[in-house]
């Protein structure tokens, strides 16, 4: 089996070793019937990988960000209401 890849049975039997390798060597893949099932990563690695994505989403949802734009730039994000298309007929 490739380094960093474990069968479910081997992962269950040697769980402590799996956890230690995830902490020291990086992500460990667990397979079921020869196909990837899950990846075990250390808590530190998980936090680092999700921190930037979470902070980006938080920034987008933060209402105080609207004030960070220069006057007039907010119009870029507003709906253009000059288009007078007729409503869709069903």
pTM, two decimal places: 0.56
Q: Report the first-to-last Cα separation within the chain, whole angstroms.
A: 58
Q: Which CATH class is domain 1-62?
A: alpha beta
User: Position of tokens 């209402």?
Assistant: 63
> Three-class SS of residue 34?
coil
The pLDDT value recorded for residue 32 is: 95
Domain residue extents for the chain: 1-62
- Consecutive sets of 10 residues in the chain, 90 residues long: mean pLDDT of each? 86 97 95 94 87 72 62 56 74
From residue 38, alpha-carbon distances to 23, 45, 52, 65, 85 in Å are 16, 15, 22, 37, 49
The pLDDT value recorded for residue 75 is: 47
């Amino acid at each position: 089996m490739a380094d960093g890849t474990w069968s479910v049975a081997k992962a269950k039997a040697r769980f402590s070793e799996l956890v230690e390798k995830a902490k020291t060597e990086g992500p460990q893949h667990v397979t079921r019937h020869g196909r990837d099932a899950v990846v075990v990563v250390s808590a530190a690695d998980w936090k680092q990988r999700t921190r930037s994505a979470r902070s980006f989403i938080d920034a987008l949802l933060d209402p105080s960000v609207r004030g960070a734009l220069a006057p007039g730039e907010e119009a870029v994000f507003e709906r253009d209401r000059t288009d007078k298309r007729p409503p869709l007929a069903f």
